[in-house]
Amino acid sequence: MKVAFIGLGTMGLRMARHLVAAGHEVVACDTDPACAAALGTATAATPAEAVAGAAVAFASLPSVAVVEQVFLGQGGLREGARPGTVLVDMSTSAPTLARRIHQECLADGIPVLDAPVSGGPTGADAATLTIMVGGAADSFERCRPLFELMGSLVRHVGGPGTGQAAKLCNNLMAGCNMAALAESCAIAQREGIDPAVFYELVTSSTGDSKVLRNRFPLAGVSDRHPASAEWSPMFMLDLIVKDMELARDLAAAHGLTAEMTSAALAQYRAGQQAGLGALDYSAVYVVKQPDAR
């Protein structure tokens, strides 16, 4: 099958490699030609060129503005896709934009799925991502075999935008969890508790979480954790800010307050002001303990 893949950054390249390994004809497109070339397949200069003749086009993009441009802008996917080509947004974006893209493309006979992922670079490498898909059920079933090459848990959530909503709810929890974890670890450190002992205790207690196991913010406990690798990003602090802002806005659109989200966001914004935005979001710990960096 001919497939286009737009956005060959950290996640996109890793996901697209599984499609290539399965024998699909993948055309790569990225604003950085070197990123597109890294896939080792045919490349295209624009999303419109990449999607020409493709059955499915995937996009993995860094921001809401870029998603809008790639799907609906000049030289974008809507411009180049033929009726029946399925466009799939695997970025984390706004449900409102996902629904607008769906409506505008469907007017041209082009179905769209929003399919954000969770699992980070490790999950992308291992094809163990969780993929949350919103859109028409028949389009989901057409793309399911491709999704299953990239993820181990693939679920159709509901109509357009619901995949994005599910991902934002997930990242709201992850962001709040990490902010609380940073606060907890700062207290434990001030009390002189050995980090390795604290980690062992909490991972066997009710405070345990995937966030803790992947991002414990006290250095030296595990080489897998960003704190032990100079906060090398698995997911940047700037990106958790973007996602939590989107989640807060989604709550507001439903008439809900989001006090926990707002409190955690204040910590991440303090991290941005301290120059931590390009580090892993577990570096929010540095807001509490500046000497940890």
Intervals of CATH 1.10.1040.10 along the chain: 165-292
Cα angle 105-111-116, degrees, rounded to a multiple of 5: 100
Query: At 26, phi and psi to the nearest 5?
Result: -105, 130
pLDDT confidence of residue 261: 97
Intervals of CATH 3.40.50.720 along the chain: 2-158
How many angstroms separate the most distant Cα atoms in the chain? 63
Q: Which percentage of the chain shows pLDDT scores above 70?
A: 100
> Would you call 288 a catalytic residue per the annotation?
no
Q: Which helix (H) or strand (E) holds 173?
A: helix 162-190
For 40-74, the pLDDT digits (tens) are 999 999 999 999 999 999 999 999 999 999 999 99
pTM to 2 decimal places: 0.95
Please state the rounded mean pLDDT for residues 22-46: 97
Please state the rounded mean pLDDT for residues 85-113: 98
Which one of the listed residues 167, 210, 242, 288 is annotated catalytic? 167
Confidence of residue 293 (pLDDT cuts 50, 70, 90): confident
Confidence of residue 22 (pLDDT cuts 50, 70, 90): very high
How far is the C-alpha of 286 from the C-alpha of 269, rounded, in Å?
A: 12
pLDDT confidence of residue 108: 97
pLDDT confidence of residue 129: 98
For 254-264, the pLDDT digits (tens) are 999 999 999 99
DSSP labels, 16-38 = HHHHHHTT-EEEEE-SSHHHHHT
- Residue 251, pLDDT > 90, answer yes
Confidence of residue 20 (pLDDT cuts 50, 70, 90): very high
| Fold adopted by 2-158 | Rossmann fold (3.40.50)
Token pair 């045919």 is found at 42
pLDDT confidence of residue 64: 96
Q: Which CATH class is domain 165-292?
A: mainly alpha
pLDDT confidence of residue 217: 97
For 205-224, the pLDDT digits (tens) are 999 999 999 999 999 999 99
Please state the rounded mean pLDDT for residues 228-250: 96
Nearest CA to 246 among 194, 177, 169?
169
